[in-house]
Amino acid sequence: MKPRETPAGPPLTPLSLAILGLLEQEPRSGYDLRKIFATTPMGYFSSSPGAIYPALRRLERARWIRGSVDRAQPLRPRQVFALTAGGGRILREALARSVTRADVAARFDELLLRFAFAGRVLGRRHTLAFLRELLARVGSHVRYLRAQVRALPESAIPYGRLALEQGLESYQATGRWLRRAIRELEEPRTGPARIRKGGSGP
């Protein structure tokens, strides 16, 4: 038995990952996916047909998803895609992959997407492990940014420092959120801690 059974396969772009995660929840058509990307906070991803339909075909060619024509509907027949067993394995692998500081700095949205899917797909235990690793990496990124701020000459014009501080404070808030999320998942049977208000009202 050779170690790697996956013969390369198509690259797992953020869009592909989002599609796999959504199809794990339930089978959906390309149009369903477009609606989700167009009308929910997942709208971060492109909802353009020129992105989604080719992506679906790539995933189908790799046998990670399988489409079937749904003729129940009276309209033009929809093609509904479902995750295959192999696709599920790929998804779990992608969600369990370890996190680097570079991911935190440059691809945080993807990490958040992974978290959102991890609960269903990996279960509470692995999701907690993921969050703890994420917290460690966010912490080291915060320390990195703080060092960058300190390294600025006192005389420098404030714009660069302010821009750095935006990132710093945003990641600090994320650190606080991570600790809360970890606490919440550790004791699952407590009522949901509603978020305190305050922040960016007018």
Partner DNA sequence: AATTTCATGTAACCAGTTACATGATTCA
Partner DNA sequence: TGAATCATGTAACTGGTTACATGAAATT
Stretch that binds DNA, among 76-84, 110-118, 156-164, 172-180 (CB under 7 A): 76-84
Closest CA to 65 of 73, 76, 53: 53
Q: Is 79 helix (H, G, I), strand (E, B) or coil?
A: strand
CB 130 within 8 A of CB 95: yes
Bridge partner list, 69:
79
With CB under 8 A as the contact rule, the residue among 35, 63, 97, 120 that binds its own copies is 120
HSE of 152, CA atoms in CB hemisphere, 13 A: 17
Q: Does 60 bind its own copies (CB under 8 A)?
A: no
With CB under 8 A as the contact rule, the residue among 133, 143, 183, 186 that binds its own copies is 143
Count of residues in contact with DNA, rule CB under 7 A:
28
Question: What is the smallest separation between the CB atom of 91 and its own copies, expressed in angstroms?
Answer: 15
With CB under 7 A as the contact rule, the residue among 4, 5, 71, 75 that binds DNA is 75
CB 43 within 8 A of CB 51: no
Chain residues binding DNA by CB under 7 A are: 10-11, 13-16, 29-32, 34, 46, 48-51, 53-56, 58, 73-76, 78-80
